[in-house]
Structure 1
């Protein structure tokens, strides 16, 4: 069943700006922020759109660390509900729980954006207080995820370039800079693309920056990651005869 309020929100996905729709949906679902991410070539979610504040910070954190409920939802194709992050085993998502507490995120609910057996992305809801979603809210978010999935599909349909789709399409563009920076690091350090992405994440995390900001600096040539130091040569320290 879908609530009367959600039935009024869903049509806005086609007629209203996405941020406004997300605000209405967040209020209805009893959460603070909403984010939409899509699968990338690496098999990990990339942020397509996110509310500002806690949601954006949490999505950035998952992207930098490369793990969390969002990546698990994308890879498994099933909802991942975490009503209390403080009760999650520390070894499930290393570093995520500690860092999330600093963002005032205590509950996370991730729902796959699916078409048949294919998972296109993830709808993520974050809340600053712990607790489960109600059955009614669970029903509403399931329907919302289905409609958002249709919206995401329309973004890649060249037959649908209409203005009402541009708010999400434009927000997808910054992700291209991460791919560009990954390629540059791969060439500069002579490492595979997968390792280059790990280097980007490690730099961003160790310097308390977002992955996108780090990538922007690399593409703009304001930043160049240093190669690994060469191991010492034993013969250099040998005594000469």
Structure 2
């Protein structure tokens, strides 16, 4: 960890021009400054939907996708509670805490994970997740620096609320990382006459039942290969050839 890396990251924590609200800083440099292997930032959009704004490629992005698909993990826990979660050794976590997540997260090579809320007046706007392959607590200096980065991120996003405004206004979200999921949840909400939150639950349940990535199932919904009927318990209707 170097002070110069942290200074550069803090200086560049602002939305990149034309990025739709994406953070402009180098995620790899941020991870290096904080003494971890990867970092990711997701913001909450309401009704259980989140959007990945910024991450190091590989394990951090995969962990975010896994948590989003399953709807559980340290990130969703922080988003719901607004309280930081520290897991210095993921292999020692009780199986019942995140039963669908733990085995897959460990298989990704995640040994430790630390999640901090992007908090504004008690409201959690999103979560910054730090992950490391090696188990062990985050050093006190690194934790203090992580809070500095989190606060700077929160300030940058509050000053540029485009991700939330675009989604709330139902504007084009094609530039979003999870654009297909946002669109699919809206379609399911109409097809099944349920709330957006319930639509996302049904989408997740279908993906989990068939062992498929959530984004892949969402693509099927958007392409109208899968249709969620207006009922409570039946399997969604499928048009064309299934891919699972």
Give secondary structure in 2 for the equivalent of 1:13: coil
Which one has the largest radius of gyration?
1
Taking the aligned partners of 1:24 and 1:82, their CA distance within structure 2 comes to 22
Taking the aligned partners of 1:94 and 1:180, their CA distance within structure 2 comes to 28
**Unaligned runs of at least 5 residues, structure 1:** 159-169, 231-241
Match of 1:182 in 2: 185
Cα displacement string for residues 172-219 of structure 1 (whole angstroms, at most 9, x for unaligned residues): 624343232112223333444333211211222233433223212211
Match of 1:110 in 2: 115
Hey, which of these two has a bigger chunk of helix by percent?
A: 1
Taking the aligned partners of 1:43 and 1:7, their CA distance within structure 2 comes to 34
Match of 1:146 in 2: 151
Q: TM-score when scaled to structure 1?
A: 0.79
- Is the Cα–Cα contact under 8 Å of residues 13 and 25 in structure 2 kept in the other structure? no
Taking structure 1 as reference, are residues 122 and 172 closer, same or farther at Cα in structure 2, changes over 3 Å only? farther
1:133 aligns with one of 115, 118, 138? 138
The equivalences for 1:1-241 within 5 A come to 3=3, 5-14=5-14, 18=23, 21-43=26-48, 45-156=50-161, 173-225=176-228, 228-229=233-234
Aligned length, in residue pairs: 219
Larger relative contact order (Cα-Cα within 8 Å, sequence gap ≥ 6): 1
Calculate the aligned-residue CA RMSD, in Å: 2.9
Deviation of 1:157 after TM superposition, in Å, equals 5.5
**Unaligned runs of at least 5 residues, structure 2:** 17-21, 164-172, 236-244
Taking structure 1 as reference, are residues 33 and 19 closer, same or farther at Cα in structure 2, changes over 3 Å only? farther
Taking the aligned partners of 1:140 and 1:220, their CA distance within structure 2 comes to 44
Taking the aligned partners of 1:59 and 1:204, their CA distance within structure 2 comes to 16
